[in-house]
Structure 1
Amino acid sequence: MPVLSLGGMRFQQSWSDLPPEAVEAGSQANLEATLRAALAAGLHHIETARHYGTSERQLGWLLPRLPDPRRILQTKVPPAEDPAAFEADLRTSFERLGLDGEGGPGGGGGRVDLLAIHGLNTPELLDQTLRPGGCLAVARRWQEAGRIGHVGFSTHAPLPLILEAIASDQFDYINLHWYFIRQDNRAAIEAATAHDMGVFVISPTDKGGHLHSPSQRLCDLCAPLHPIVFNDLFCLSAPGIHTISVGASSPQELDLHLEVLALLPQAGELLPPILERLEQARRRALGDDWLASWDRGLPAWEDTPGRINLPVLLWLHNLLEAWDLEAYGRARYGLLGQGSHWFPGENADALDGSVSEAELLAVLQASPWAAEIPGLLRRLRGRLGGEAVKRLQVA
């Protein structure tokens, strides 16, 4: 497994699963150039997903033209209440990737080296996967027929659910969110290591802070490294992580990530001064008292009037004040209320409307910052609000 993987969430033409004739020649040429550059650089692991629009179809056309004996091909299929629906999606993935053969196990078609059950974000989805006769049983049938190599899962779930999935001992690897601005899943990496699972960090550039369009403040704090290079180096030097995703939409977007490879031996010298500057900036902006207790006594979004996701909103406040991650904050704020189980809860737009300050304060009695939080949410709404963002992932 190479330390950099080519992620397929951004190189496709469309987030809709277009018919073949709608795929444009320019888009296909760009993807071919991206694949050629990735192959030349040693990114032998390519991962995509059933619901990444045209990604699977476009890859399926190109892979035979770009043979790679070391290629590791991965796709991801979401679970379903009906295992037959999951299997239909699985069959479609193989068809789009040009691996269908006769279709289904025993059909003699091609093979996916890694299959992830995509988006184990809720207890219901985990149950649909693990219960007898469920989606994992379907994947095992295909595995026994030689159509699938290893089976893992991807997740945006709360940490306790991730740990439950790992503890099931039913998976070979995990696609996990963990990067500099979000380190709360460290226990999942440790648990995966204890269960001999591979760890693939997903979306460290986009979900890791929109590092493809970083703020000037973040650039200054990460100097002499670009924020992408800093974050990649931070992830790859952490124990237990095997590979991170390079979600390139063009060949040029590979360049910064490739800089990291030569710098890995120097991580011990390069990272500490940058980490110290980032931490000092955070403390200056937010204060030690706030940082020690901002998340204490916050209700879960399910227990908050209007389903306002206070932990996420206050985390966005911290990122905004400390490192000026406004583009990232605006995107995340707009996703609240639009992202289903991928990004649950609501933003602060309902405050002073359908949710009064008194109602909010009633559930903040255990927070040492109860009096400050309503005003903070109003300021956050004023800076980040105004536009709903539809999650691109369909599941």
Structure 2
Amino acid sequence: MLYRRFGRTNLAMPVFSCGGMRYQFSWQDVPPSTIPAENQRNLEATIQRALDLGINHIETARGYGTSEVQLGKILPRLPREKLIVQTKVGPRANARDFRENLETSLQNLGLDYIDLLGIHGINLPEHLEQVLRPGGCLEVVRQFQAQGRIRFVGFSTHGSLEVIRQAIASDVFDYVNLHWYYINQQNWPAILDAHARDMGVFIISPADKGGMLYNPPPRLSQLCAPLSPMVFNDLFCLSHPQVHTLSVGAARPSDFEAHLEVLSLLNQAEMLLPPIVARLEQAAIERLGADWYHTWHHGLPPYHHTPGEVNIPTILWLWNLAQAYDLVDYARMRYNLLGNGGHWFPGANAAHVDQLDLSACLAKSPHRQAIPAILKSAHQLFAGAAQKRLSQA
């Protein structure tokens, strides 16, 4: 395994982390006695495989249902000094509620302390305010740190670039968990901000949120050859030294294997990546047109400034991925979260775009005439059963 200094925490972080959101029994809290022994054995085998590979960063969350409780059955039996344990707790308007959830997390894990606490889901300005205000969540965290129960504090986010940069600029966090992949690079300025403040940078779910890369479409596989799309994406992310670790949301011990190839390729990234990136860009231009490819995002309004809160930037981004790389299944999965994902995936889909006057909100877009028809086509291609986030299922 390869390790990178995790910013000012000075932790030696493996470049892959063992994310804890797919091997647990339930997304809801249930009595421990109802957790099947087979499921617990699989979880423990997954943790042991991670450790055998040198992946000693075990990451979970209060919002991951039984994950913490199940980890609490194995982590206390392992050499504590060799582990980096992280859980995440969502901000709350009432700091007492946050404290109770934090206590529950630590009790579930069965550990005297955790190395990393993430404030889970700073997605809106009010979430950051709940953390930073006098008497807010951060004061609770500082008390736990003074007691030696938490070493470092960070935050995870599905929020806008503006919110992420505001949270980083507060300079109270030691690290950040955020989305950033080849197909979604909009958070790069936030990564640079974090690097400037010597924060750790953890990339959320590159295999799944980076394009459902465990089962890529043939076109994407051809464009990424000689690498698999997943290895290409891992290499793309890790070729940037500002990125420290990628989460592998393993559901079983074998899920790590597909990522390991990248370890021997990092020193070849400057040779391997440019031709693949060039092919991906040319393929997108051939299907989308050069003008659209380079300028589609210019002048687009945020969803909360759009009639019906239609999330135009996200819908066009998904449309581009489906057209350029045949990522239709991925686009459908994400599209049908719109209207159902809350602040984790905000805004509405384009179901009612024919009934809306978008002329004012698109006035600054060079493609204002074409976009309404594209939104309608995207809805026809992607619309299906409403999707929920895994934690809501």
Would you call these one fold, judging by a TM-score over 0.5?
yes
Structure 2 residue identity aligned to 1:363: C
Match of 2:104 in 1: 92
CA contact (8 A) 2:311 2:349 kept: yes
Structure 2 residue identity aligned to 1:62: I
Structure 2 residue identity aligned to 1:383: L
Distance across 2 between alignment mates of 1:65 and 1:262: 32
Structure 2 residue identity aligned to 1:326: V
Match of 1:156 in 2: 158
Please report the RMSD computed on the Cα atoms of aligned residues, expressed in angstroms: 1.3
Distance across 2 between alignment mates of 1:117 and 1:18: 23
Match of 1:384 in 2: 382
Structure 2 residue identity aligned to 1:208: G
Q: 2:363 aligns with which of 356, 362, 365?
A: 365
Distance across 2 between alignment mates of 1:4 and 1:65: 22
Distance across 1 between alignment mates of 2:139 and 2:108: 22
Please report how far the alpha carbon of residue 69 of structure 1 lies from its aligned counterpart in structure 2 after TM superposition. Answer: 3.4
Distance across 1 between alignment mates of 2:52 and 2:81: 13
Q: 1:187 aligns with which of 165, 186, 189?
A: 189
CA contact (8 A) 1:45 1:73 kept: yes
Please report how far the alpha carbon of residue 40 of structure 1 lies from its aligned counterpart in structure 2 after TM superposition. Answer: 0.4
Greater mean deviation of Cα atoms: 297-306 or 34-43: 297-306
Please report how far the alpha carbon of residue 351 of structure 1 lies from its aligned counterpart in structure 2 after TM superposition. Answer: 2.3
CA contact (8 A) 2:117 2:153 kept: yes
Please report how far the alpha carbon of residue 189 of structure 1 lies from its aligned counterpart in structure 2 after TM superposition. Answer: 1.1
Give identity over the alignment, percent: 57
CA contact (8 A) 1:217 1:324 kept: yes
CA contact (8 A) 1:36 1:66 kept: no
Structure 2 residue identity aligned to 1:20: P
Q: Secondary structure at the match of 1:225?
A: coil
Distance across 2 between alignment mates of 1:76 and 1:29: 24
CA contact (8 A) 2:301 2:362 kept: yes
Distance across 2 between alignment mates of 1:38 and 1:332: 29
CA contact (8 A) 2:303 2:347 kept: yes
Match of 1:106 in 2: none
Please report how far the alpha carbon of residue 363 of structure 1 lies from its aligned counterpart in structure 2 after TM superposition. Answer: 2.8
Greater mean deviation of Cα atoms: 200-209 or 64-73: 64-73
Distance across 1 between alignment mates of 2:269 and 2:364: 41
Q: 1:78 aligns with which of 90, 100, 105?
A: 90
Structure 1 residue identity aligned to 2:376: R
Match of 1:288 in 2: 290
Match of 1:38 in 2: 50
Give me the TM-score of the superposition, normalised by structure 2: 0.94
Match of 2:335 in 1: 333
Match of 2:275 in 1: 273
Structure 2 residue identity aligned to 1:95: Q
CA contact (8 A) 1:173 1:198 kept: yes
Unaligned runs of 5+ in 2: 1-12
CA contact (8 A) 1:44 1:68 kept: no
Give me the TM-score of the superposition, normalised by structure 1: 0.94
Q: Secondary structure at the match of 1:349?
A: coil
Which whole-Å deviations, capped at 9, do the CAs of 1:335-362 have from their partners, x for residues lacking one? 111111111101111223xx34xx1234
Please report how far the alpha carbon of residue 162 of structure 1 lies from its aligned counterpart in structure 2 after TM superposition. Answer: 1.1
CA contact (8 A) 2:211 2:330 kept: yes
Match of 1:305 in 2: 307
Distance across 2 between alignment mates of 1:24 and 1:284: 51
Q: Kindly tell me: are residues 68 and 111 of structure 1, through their superposed partners in 2, closer, same or farther at Cα, counting changes over 3 Å?
A: closer
Structure 2 residue identity aligned to 1:217: R
Please report how far the alpha carbon of residue 271 of structure 1 lies from its aligned counterpart in structure 2 after TM superposition. Answer: 1.1
Match of 1:14 in 2: 26
Distance across 1 between alignment mates of 2:391 and 2:173: 23
Please report how far the alpha carbon of residue 65 of structure 1 lies from its aligned counterpart in structure 2 after TM superposition. Answer: 3.5
Match of 1:167 in 2: 169
Structure 2 residue identity aligned to 1:261: L
Greater mean deviation of Cα atoms: 296-305 or 175-184: 296-305
Which whole-Å deviations, capped at 9, do the CAs of 1:124-143 have from their partners, x for residues lacking one? 00000011111011001000
Q: Secondary structure at the match of 2:155?
A: strand
Q: Secondary structure at the match of 1:152?
A: strand
Please report how far the alpha carbon of residue 68 of structure 1 lies from its aligned counterpart in structure 2 after TM superposition. Answer: 5.5
Q: Secondary structure at the match of 1:34?
A: helix
Match of 1:4 in 2: 16
Count of residue correspondences: 380
Superposition pairs of residues 53-132 of structure 1, within 5 angstroms: 53-67=65-79, 69-99=81-111, 110-132=112-134
Match of 1:50 in 2: 62
1:259 maps onto 2:261 in alignment? yes
CA contact (8 A) 2:213 2:230 kept: yes
Superposition pairs of residues 198-209 of structure 1, within 5 angstroms: 198-209=200-211
Give the 4+ runs in structure 1 shifted more than 6 A: none
Which whole-Å deviations, capped at 9, do the CAs of 1:281-308 have from their partners, x for residues lacking one? 1111111111222122222211212110
Which whole-Å deviations, capped at 9, do the CAs of 1:144-197 have from their partners, x for residues lacking one? 100001001111111122111111110111111111111111111111111111
Q: Secondary structure at the match of 1:161?
A: helix
CA contact (8 A) 2:177 2:204 kept: yes
CA contact (8 A) 2:57 2:86 kept: yes
Distance across 2 between alignment mates of 1:349 and 1:163: 32
CA contact (8 A) 2:332 2:384 kept: no
Q: Secondary structure at the match of 1:150?
A: strand
Match of 2:3 in 1: none
